[in-house]
Amino acid sequence: MKKSFTGTNFCFTGQTGFYRGKVRDVYTMDNNVLIIVVTDRISAFDIVLPRGIPFKGQVLNQIASKFLDLTVDIVPNWKTAVPDPMVTAGHFAEPFKVEMVIRGYLTGHAWREYKSGKRKLCGVILPQGMKENEKFNDPIITPTTKAIIGHDEDISKEEIISSGLVSEKDYLKLEDFTYRLFRRGSEIAAERRLILVDTKYEFGKKDGKIFLIDEIHTPDSSRYFYADGYEQRLARGDSQKQLSKEFVREWLMERGFQGKDGQELPVMTDEFVSQVSERYIELFENITGEKFVKSDIADVPGRIKRNIEEFLRKL
């Protein structure tokens, strides 16, 4: 069983901040440069699971890097360099306190809400009579608050603006960027015989300018279906064949865990961890059309530290 890399504890010259997210370790340099190490940690239901997934960090970092390059004509993004297969460096932008979730299909959290009888999600009215995994006539935006600790919460456009989380002027720009990014992602996925089902985007502001930040179109932030056989599976009421982190959530739910108080995390076996790793690599190769090349894992912390220090010396 290959080892996973689940965290860093570096101290760099010029470092002015450090933040550990669910998956990423974020270093701030001189208050204006971000160094983000994408670890092999995996979260579900907003809880970091006890075991990391080998090569997951590399998969996420390299997919995000590719899609940041493929969408820079739509909105500028924070990336300036990729010093290591698991590291991206770039601009620090003050994050907006909302995540822009966009859904093209009724699945996941939206389906669970719909199945419970709700017909409004984040202020958006949902049509009657829909089936699980059915396509919406047009994609819908269902934002969430961005929680530092605990669960993100659904919120409507009207609540975001009225509470002052985001100004109306900025929110309309975020909305436009979100639709355009999703359209681009969907087009690229279709070329690979995949369906981009839903995803989320995060944005920040620097010097009065909006930047796309964090990851984009990865299996942690997005859900993909295989296009081949989608209609037939939908008609039969079968589960869709998908490439995303949803199968991890389903595995947990089958074992009685949804992140609620009093629930006990099931044991992640070596076999399951290997399966998850293989699924992440499968998605990389499907969505990028490239062969995944595993990085050297003999000394991951040492390799990452050396590569970051070399990048910093060139600044």
The residue among 92, 84, 83, 96 whose CA lies nearest residue 29 is: 92
Position 313: which residue type? R
* pLDDT value for 152: 77
- In angstroms, what CA-CA distances link 2 with 25, 63, 199, 274? 21, 21, 29, 9
Torsions phi, psi for 31 (to 5 deg)? 65, 10
Over the chain (315 residues), the average pLDDT of each successive run of 10 is 90 95 95 96 92 96 97 98 98 96 96 97 97 98 79 90 97 98 97 96 97 93 95 96 84 93 94 93 92 95 97 93
* Cβ proximity of 172 and 68 under 8 Å: no
Domain 95-244 has CATH 3.40.50.620: no
* pLDDT value for 150: 54
CATH class of 15-94+268-313: alpha beta
* pLDDT value for 154: 94
3-state secondary structure of 242: strand
The residue among 198, 192, 187, 190 whose CA lies nearest residue 105 is: 198
* pLDDT value for 245: 82
Q: Which helix (H) or strand (E) segment is 278 a member of?
A: helix 270-288
Look at the block and give the residue holding tokens 């570096």. Answer: 10
* Cβ within 8 Å of residue 251, ≥6 positions away: 266, 272
Where do the domains of the chain lie?
A: 15-94+268-313, 95-244
